[in-house]
Chain A
Amino acid sequence: MSSAAEGPTPYALETVDVRKHFGGVHAVDGLSIGIPRGEITCVVGPNGSGKSTLINLLSGMLPLDGGLVVVDGVRLRVVKPHETPGLGVTRTFQDVRLFDQITVWDNIMVVLTERRLLPSLFERPRPGQRERTEQILRNVGMWEKRRSLAMDLSYGQRKLLEIGRAMALNVNTYLFDEPFAGLFPQMLERVKEIMRQMRSEGRTILFISHNMDIVRELSDHLIVMDSGRLLTEGDAEEVLAQPEVIEAYLGV
């Protein structure tokens, strides 16, 4: 946590004793972690250890059953999804969720437009927005597909588009749920590049991945979860060398 923290805390996001259960399953069970500002944090853990649930809680897609989420020092008991971008947080989904029946282009444009009701009625696409959209689409390699409907894309293309859509939202903290799953190696490179660039712009990234190479390569900070709890955290190489992590997650 050596990064130059500008805010009151070195963390862009914090959870304090966050809990979520589904029936009898404690998906997230008293988790307290901090996501350092301006760094890439990776969350790993066995399947079903509550990683996606964590992101769902942080982004307000699921109501908290207990605990607090601290965004930029703001303590929240209830996270409302539509308020998260205002707090500087956005996300992607493990099961990609796009606006299927509108074009790739509009999928990005939606994110760029005015949030207030009345002004949005009077807003038409501005050159700035167009340029930004083009830039993003080129960045994720979807420029040539801009006129297709999002539902006609393949799995990986959808994934890229979703990342692009999140990028379009100019916020400080990005939560990526398995952004690398199902991507072709060279696409992986591109996404990695995107993430590095985001970091260099001082943004905070939290991502989930099961790809250890990427985790080692990319993450400044690694969080390992197991059955909804924090197993361990710290530097990637060190953490991944710990025996309990190997036992719970990596396998021999």
Chain B
Amino acid sequence: MFTGSRRLPGLKRSVRDPGAFIRLARSNLELWANLVIIAWAVTFAILQGTGFAITLGTVFAIWAILAVSLNLVVGFTGLLSVGHIGFFGIGAYTVAVLTSNASYEQLRTEAIPTFGWPFFAALPVGVVLAGLTAVAVGVVFNRFRDDIFVLVSFGFAIICFNVFLNARAVTRGAFGIHEVAKPQIGGWVFDDELSFLALAVVFLLVVVLLSWFIVTSSFGRVLTAIREDERATEVFGYQVTHYKLTVWVLSAMMAAAAGGLFASWTTFIDPNSFVLLESILLVSIVILGGLATIWGSLLGAMTFVLLEEGMRFVPGLPDQYVGQARQVVLGVLLVLLMLFRPQGLLGRYRL
């Protein structure tokens, strides 16, 4: 809010103090980060052809929804949750189960009831279901803070994965669910890549606006206060648990929406897409982009997608190492960020 005026004295001082000049340059890192990443994305899109760029755009939109929603919890409220992938999974599975029309008559695979709902009917159900789960989970998790919260949220991610894997009567377990329906409005089906991208971006916009609305409100300010000192916030008359629960549920619902999109986009889901590691990567994205900044999360998601896909094109890197190499790069990035810029690429707030 006050960034502009804060810089001015620095400029004045830099005339007689070279150190201040370096600091000034460094304080523009945000700008550089923005420019570099966007330029990278554009170059990538141009080089790789529109088809692939559209695919990546959709992947980005989904990750970005997740990152923005998680930032509400991690960055603004200060609850370092590693369990977000669970809500993503709940959304995805609900949409998959409700919309799939696949016939599983064959003897060899597990059959589950099919409903054949349209996507836009199933999605709200998934979102609400995730919300309800979040309420139940949140009531319990509200007791925990800091490290313990991290631990139990790890637990939540693992529990969710196991439920997806083992509740075979609903999820078909390891078989996964096929033929998830594409979104459809009236007669208009979003079954080509471009229209799906458009839909995903609309979702992303809605999520971003909603998040922006939340964090600029008084509600958002209370969240940051809770992040800083929960007990002291209580003394000023805020029922902290309600605030935490509300933002937790909202964030879970956004993640579930992303999950629904994801299921519909891939048309097939199985538990492997909802493993703990993905959740950890998601937290990394949020931290990479910057805590308590929405634009940062977008940038973080962008970086992540570019890293993931860009790695495929690194010369001399054998294909089987692409996935791992991406993790190595991400890990090293995290370390460097924490070392030199603990607030992330764009953030103000430090962990």
A residues neighboring B (CB under 8 Å): 59-61, 81-86, 90-91, 93, 97-103, 106-107, 109-111, 113-115, 117, 120-125, 147, 165, 169
A81 CA / B240 CA spacing, docked (Å) = 10
Q: Name B227's closest neighbour in chain A (CB-CB).
A: A101
Q: How far is the CB of B240 from the nearest CB of chain A, in Å?
A: 7
Q: Are B236 and A169 in contact (CB under 8 A)?
A: yes
Would you call the interface of chain A mostly helix, strand, loop, or mixed?
loop
Q: B105-113, B166-174, B209-217: which one contacts chain A?
A: B209-217
Residues of A within 8 A of B243 (CB): 117
Within 8 A of A (CB), among B199-228: 213-214, 216-219, 221-222, 224-225, 227-228
Q: Are A82 and B237 in contact (CB under 8 A)?
A: yes
A117 CA / B244 CA spacing, docked (Å) = 11
Q: Are A122 and B229 in contact (CB under 8 A)?
A: no
Residues of A within 8 A of B213 (CB): 121
Known contacts being A90-B235, A147-B6, A169-B237, is A99 close to B217, with CB within 8 Å? Answer: no
Q: Are A113 and B235 in contact (CB under 8 A)?
A: no
Residues of B within 8 A of A98 (CB): 228-229, 232
Known contacts being A123-B217, A147-B6, is A84 close to B228, with CB within 8 Å? Answer: no
Residues of A within 8 A of B2 (CB): 103, 147
Known contacts being A113-B221, A121-B214, is A102 close to B228, with CB within 8 Å? Answer: yes
Would you call the interface of chain B mostly helix, strand, loop, or mixed?
helix
A169 CA / B221 CA spacing, docked (Å) = 16
Using A85-B235, A113-B221, A124-B216 as known contacts, list a sample of 15 further A-B pairs with CB atoms less than 8 Å apart, ordered by residue number in A.
Answer: A61-B231, A81-B235, A85-B236, A93-B232, A98-B229, A101-B227, A102-B225, A109-B218, A110-B222, A110-B236, A115-B237, A121-B219, A122-B217, A123-B217, A169-B237
Within 8 A of A (CB), among B307-323: none
Within 8 A of A (CB), among B122-167: none
Q: Are A101 and B349 in contact (CB under 8 A)?
A: yes
Residues of A within 8 A of B216 (CB): 124
Asked if B242 CB lies within 8 Å of chain A CBs, one says: yes
Residues of B within 8 A of A81 (CB): 231, 234-235
A98 CA / B228 CA spacing, docked (Å) = 8
Q: Are A123 and B234 in contact (CB under 8 A)?
A: no
Q: How far is the CB of B210 from the nearest CB of chain A, in Å?
A: 10
Q: Which of B228, B234, B240 contacts A101 (CB 8 A)?
A: B228
B residues neighboring A (CB under 8 Å): 2, 5-6, 213-214, 216-219, 221-222, 224-225, 227-229, 231-240, 242-243, 246, 349-350
Q: Are A117 and B225 in contact (CB under 8 A)?
A: no
Q: Are B237 and A84 in contact (CB under 8 A)?
A: yes
Q: Name A85's closest neighbour in chain B (CB-CB).
A: B237
Q: Are A120 and B218 in contact (CB under 8 A)?
A: yes
Residues of A within 8 A of B242 (CB): 117
Q: Name B235's closest neighbour in chain A (CB-CB).
A: A81
8 A-B residue pairs with CB within 8 Å: A85-B237, A99-B229, A100-B228, A102-B225, A107-B225, A110-B233, A122-B217, A169-B237
A157 CA / B225 CA spacing, docked (Å) = 19
Q: Name A86's closest neighbour in chain B (CB-CB).
A: B237
Q: Are B221 and A106 in contact (CB under 8 A)?
A: yes
Residues of A within 8 A of B239 (CB): 82
Q: Which of A91, A103, A117 contacts B235 (CB 8 A)?
A: A91
Q: Are B222 and A120 in contact (CB under 8 A)?
A: yes
Q: Are B237 and A123 in contact (CB under 8 A)?
A: no
Q: How far is the CB of A206 from the nearest CB of chain B, in Å?
A: 15
A129 CA / B212 CA spacing, docked (Å) = 21
Q: Are A115 and B217 in contact (CB under 8 A)?
A: no
Residues of A within 8 A of B5 (CB): 147
Q: Are B235 and A123 in contact (CB under 8 A)?
A: no
A187 CA / B267 CA spacing, docked (Å) = 67
Q: Are B232 and A90 in contact (CB under 8 A)?
A: no
Known contacts being A100-B228, A124-B217, A147-B6, is A117 close to B233, with CB within 8 Å? Answer: no
Q: Are A99 and B218 in contact (CB under 8 A)?
A: no
A60 CA / B240 CA spacing, docked (Å) = 14
Q: Are A97 and B240 in contact (CB under 8 A)?
A: no
Q: Are A114 and B218 in contact (CB under 8 A)?
A: yes
A85 CA / B5 CA spacing, docked (Å) = 36
Residues of A within 8 A of B218 (CB): 109, 113-114, 120-121, 123-125
